[in-house]
Structure 1
Amino acid sequence: MNHYTFPILLGVLVGVITRLIMLRTDTRQYPTRLHGKIVHIAMGFIAAILGAVAIPSIMKKDFSALTFLTLAASQFRDVRNMERNTLQQLDGVELVPRGSTYIEGIALVFESRNYLAMMASFVTTFAYFAFNSPIAGVIAGIASFFAAKALMSGGRLQDLVEIEHAPLRFDGAGLYIDNIYIMNIGLPARQKEIMKYGMGFLLKPKSMDANITLSNLGQRQAILHDVAVGLGVVRDSGTPALVPLAKRDLNDGRIGVFVLPQEHDVEKAIQIIGNVPTLENAIRLSSEAAKGGRTSS
């Protein structure tokens, strides 16, 4: 072993631990246990190795070794494509699908977390060599853990809206939540099923930015999917009347959320809706747009 061995091993260890910290299977059961996790752990290990060997390669003036970083970027894009394709296939058999916006957000997260693992190992190895001290490397690694933890925690819907339970009602054949029209149900038997199993919620945006974000159909579909996963759903294929929907009040931007959960727990449903991630592709910051000007790229 030479003097590069321990810094590289420390960097790889920090990178792998960082990826493990960011790898969680939640109520949505993704990534799946166990095989889904193995894929991401393996990619995290590769990312950690590439980040750890970057500094020794520069010190030895072996710049050709750094070309592996560009190869890694290509491989991580393949991870993103793999996740996207897998989830799109799974979405076809979901009773309440995730939607393409949610899928793209999940795929982007898995790609970016490999870069975070690479960066953690790079910073750790750099600190080790810069101060010629394993303690400096450990401190840098611990700081990387906290940084990764902060970066992996995106926004939640509860930051954008106020959520309240609202009763369902029928006006003739029209189903309403407050004054928000949801859909038309003509059969009395279906109306009874909806009143028996259905629940309604109102989402009131806290700002104009939140109003515009909630208008995104992908964001609304993510809400319906997470509620269905967390509380179950009373429907089967071939029952178009029993479809969860989220409709918008065109006057003030409120969202009426109609769901058919198997578990009627209002507080738990509000908590699930509040914890729905704010999708990056749905976020709109109209308040920061330059008035009368063009957006910059």
Structure 2
Amino acid sequence: MDWLTHRYTLGIIVGVVFGILSRLNMLRTDYRQYPTYPHGKIVHLSLSVIAAGLGAVVVPALLDKDYTAITFLALAAQQFREVRNMERQSLTQIDNLELVPRGAAYIEGIAMVFEGRNYLVIFSSFVATLFSIVFAWYWGIAAGLLSILLANYYKTGKNIKKIADIVPVEVRIEGPDLYVGEVYIMNVGLEQNRQLIREHSLGFLVTPKNMNSRVTLSNLGQRQAILHDISTILGVYRDEGEPALMPMAKLNLKTGALALFILPQDRDAHKAKVALERIPVLESAVRMPSEAKVNQKRKA
């Protein structure tokens, strides 16, 4: 029994370690500065310890047929949903202070990601503990490494480059009317604003690759996420109270292409194109009309 207890203890330690390592691997403070450093990271690392512990202790409970211990997982799921609510509320408050807001869809996507990554931590911890106890500690390490690779694969989704082609196009002003390519954007009344647009603006046409991509790009939340990210990466040439200098995205209703009007501080078309290609596709914006039976070709 002492040997079995020792094996359980070793397995739990291996599981907790790999659970925390999995969260560290997924935790990045990038250009969005979220989670913030260091306090935002401390919050998420603390939650990873809890998630890793839960994932690890479930294995000995199952092996000892103590099935009531599974109720802790239900409690953990409730706690992680509260984390999601906390992230949503925090980001919503901050969003009111952004020159180019993220939008509700982007905020919901970020909150969902932080909830989901805690479940990936539980998965990594569970797998490492299971293999350590059932086989040997070195098999637990191997399984833990494999689970981290798997979690790393699932931590990110598609980006704009996967669903659309991006090309720079001319921004032109005809009288008070502003166009990106052939797409009308807005009316600019003041000559001072029109001059700033001539000097600092860039235009891009984002052309969807298929029917599904067309619907995704038409989503208002996805459009706002694109404008926010590109304004974060390259800056934005505007201040509060200047609606004529707000970056905008408008659809070409005939083709489904998305025309982007941006005013970056760093006016580099190549850099802007690369940044646009790497902007994530929001899960809440993804639609698949091609999967509907009415849109599928009948087989002969």
TM-score (norm 1): 0.96
Q: CA separation in 2, counterparts of 1:109 and 1:292?
A: 31
- Counterpart of 2:231 in structure 1 is 228
What aligned pairs does 1:69-84 form with structure 2 within 5 A after superposition? 69-84=73-88
Superposed CA offset, 1:85-112 (max 9, x none): 0100000000000000000000000000
Residue-by-residue CA offset, 1:141-193 (whole Å, 9 max, x unaligned): 01101100110121000111111111110122110011101000122221111
The match for 1:287 is 290
Question: Which aligned pairs between 1:170-185 and structure 2 lie closer than 5 A?
Answer: 170-185=173-188
- Report the AA paired with residue 100 of structure 2: V
SS at match of 2:243: coil
Please say which of residues 1-10 and 47-56 is displaced more in the overlay.
1-10
Structure 1 ranges of 4+ moved more than 3 A: none
Amino acid at match of 1:70: A
- Select the residue among 36, 39, 43 that pairs with 1:35: 39
In 2, the alpha carbon distance for the partners of 1:215 and 1:20 equals 35
Q: How big is each residue's C-alpha offset from its partner over 1:105-137, in whole Å with a ceiling of 9 and x where there is no partner?
A: 000000000000001110111112222x11111
Q: Distance in 2 between matches of 1:292 and 1:92?
A: 40
| AA in 2 matched with 1:268 | K
In the alignment, which residue of structure 2 is the partner of 1:23? 27
Aligned-pair distance for 1:261? 0.6
> C-alpha offsets along residues 211-251 of structure 1, whole Å, 9 cap, x if unaligned?
11000011010111011110111111111111000000000
Matches within 5 A, 1:1-297: 2-131=6-135, 133-291=136-294
SS of alignment partner, residue 285 of structure 2: coil
Q: What CA distance in whole angstroms lies between the structure 2 residues aligned with 1:13 and 1:256?
A: 47
Report deviation, 1:64: 2.7
The CA distance in 2 between the partners of 1:251 and 1:172, in whole Å, is: 24
Secondary structure of the 1:56 match is helix
Structure 1 pair 55–42 and aligned structure 2 pair: CA distance change class (3 A): same
Higher mean C-alpha deviation, range 60-69 or range 207-216: 60-69
- Scaled by the length of structure 2, the TM-score of the pair is 0.95
Residues 188, 244 of structure 2: 8 Å contact kept:
yes
Structure 1 residues 118 and 205: alpha-carbon distance in aligned structure 2, compared to 1, 3 A threshold: same
Give aligned-pair identity as a percent. 49
Give the deviation of 1:3 after TM superposition: 2.8
Which residues of structure 1 form unaligned runs of 5+? none
1:38 CA displacement? 0.6
Tell me: CA distance 1:222–1:136, structure 2 relative to 1, closer, same or farther (3 Å). same
Question: Match of 1:142, as an amino acid?
Answer: L
* Structure 1 residue 62, shift from structure 2 partner: 2.6
Q: Secondary structure at the match of 1:164?
A: strand
How many pairs does the alignment contain?
292
Bigger shift: residues 121-130 or 271-280:
121-130
State whether residues 289 and 295 of structure 2, in contact with CA within 8 Å, keep that contact through their aligned partners in structure 1: no
Deviations, residues 192-221 of structure 1 (Å, cap 9, x unaligned): 111111111111111111111000011010
CA distance in 1, matches of 2:79, 2:179: 48
Output the CA distance in 1 between the equivalents of 2:295 and 2:219. 24
